[in-house]
Amino acid sequence: MNIKLLNKELGEVLSDVTVVFLKKDELEECEHADILQKAGFKAEQDTTCFLYEKATLFCGVDSKKSDDIRSAASCMMKMLKSSNYKSAKISVISKSTITALVEGVVLGGYEFNEYKSEPKKAALEEISLAVNDFSFDDIETIFNEALIVAHATNFTRDVVNRAPQEINPQTLAHVAQTLAYDNSLLCNILQEDDLAKENMGAMLAVGRASVHGSALIHLAYKPANPKKVITLVGKGLTYDSGGLSLKAPTSMVTMKMDKAGACAVLGIIKAVSELKLDIEIHAFIGAVENMVGGNAYKPDDVLVSRSKTTIEVRNTDAEGRLVLADVLDYAQDKVKADYIFDFATLTGACMIALGQYTTGLMGHSHKLKHDISRAGSDAGEMISSLPFNRHLKKLLKSEIADISNTASKPYGGAITAGMFLDKFIRDENKNKWMHFDIAGTAYTETPWDCNVYGATGAGVRLMCEFLRDIK
């Protein structure tokens, strides 16, 4: 489906359907107020009323602000795709809501149906955004940038949504290599022999029982004169059975999404390279499959990580932090970065703490937390900080090793996981590092906002917003 921006009045645009965003206090003044009243339309947020005889679709919004427009535009796409109309037109309300409109159309209209033997094809082919403004060139720039970020988000969704028999550590590495070729990125893949030479005992242990070899993926985008250097680290568990601490069958369903942190990192570097931001990006991914077998790592094992920190394994389902421990250590050796951000579907505890719709943010720098939270608000991704404290840190104590991979009590699980990672962040990098727990936000089985069933691409819009304004 094509979306385009036109420097025209709405009436000058030829289209099958006109879309109108309507607030409650605008209802009485609407041209079709009587018909809408008879239809029971009250212009509440995310409600729609399709006047087919008038070829007009009304979408209710609480306000004309970005969050409400984005969500309503997603509902609009659902209605349009269920019709037989081929085109629709919308008047751009303001310069500030163009990005939200694009996201509502591109993200809300997304489908992943590659595994359907006979996928349903919508008749809808084109959405036109009409804007008649003297600053059209500026508006067009915003539109084009929004398209890049939205398509990068859908790229992330595509990879997350692919089934585990298709995406394993080696094929994820191939996805990264293809992206590197298409976007002129530098690419280096470390296979298991290389990981062994790097003494990545924690990462190698997690993938030991899989028939697919683990891999560390390093992509780099290097513009000529970067103003900042950013390291991104992604958890790439292409499938997580829980290992010998086997997940319950119902909990194992959707575990293809445990690679969402890695996929977000791929989406971010894709968007940044296409936006041509003057920021150097290094993306490090630990691609591993956590399976069950005779050589699987076990509770009671003591692993030696790359940093030589010893780790007592109490639960093989707390595997992502083991992978990240080694990858974070490697990344700090390879790149002297201004900021280090890791993205991981790390804990179910984060969903208990914050719900399904909010990413957990952890780290030491209050200023960095504030800046990222503000970027999240502007990007339409909700962020909430979870505070470290010295009492929870005690729960990671091991009697036989330097640290345990799970806490001794089941409380504050998202925070103790973040504090485990903090163990592997060097002192000089403590205030440069932030951990994003996207366990709740990366995947949904109930559509919300501009997120349809499946992967959401959490982290891509947020980080692009942050990096565009970075100083």
Catalytic residue ranges? 247, 321
Residues 6 or more apart whose Cβ sits within 8 Å of residue 80: 17, 19, 57, 88, 122, 124
Strands (E), 181-309: 186-190, 215-221, 228-240, 279-290, 302-304
Query: Residue 23 and residue 10: Cα distance in Å, rounded?
Result: 19
Burial of residue 228 (number of CB atoms within 10 Å: 0-12, 13-18, 19+): middle
Residues 6 or more apart whose Cβ sits within 8 Å of residue 331: 231, 233, 282, 284, 337, 340
Query: Residue 268 and residue 467: Cα distance in Å, rounded?
Result: 10
Residues 6 or more apart whose Cβ sits within 8 Å of residue 186: 180, 218, 219, 220, 221, 222
What is each CA distance from 266 to 132, 180, 441, in whole angstroms?
36, 10, 17
- Contact by Cβ (8 Å): 220, 270: no
Query: Residue 270 and residue 350: Cα distance in Å, rounded?
Result: 27
Nearest Cα residue to 363 out of 434, 436, 421? 434
Query: Residue 415 and residue 407: Cα distance in Å, rounded?
Result: 10
Query: Residue 206 and residue 81: Cα distance in Å, rounded?
Result: 43
Tokens of 207: 């993938």
Concatenated DSSP letters for 35-88? HHHHTT----TT-EEEEGGGTEEEEE-S-SSHHHHHHHHHHHHHHHHTSS--EE
DSSP-derived secondary structure letter, 328: H
Query: Residue 174 and residue 281: Cα distance in Å, rounded?
Result: 19
* Residue whose pair of structure tokens reads 């919508």 in the numeric block: 122
- Contact by Cβ (8 Å): 169, 189: no
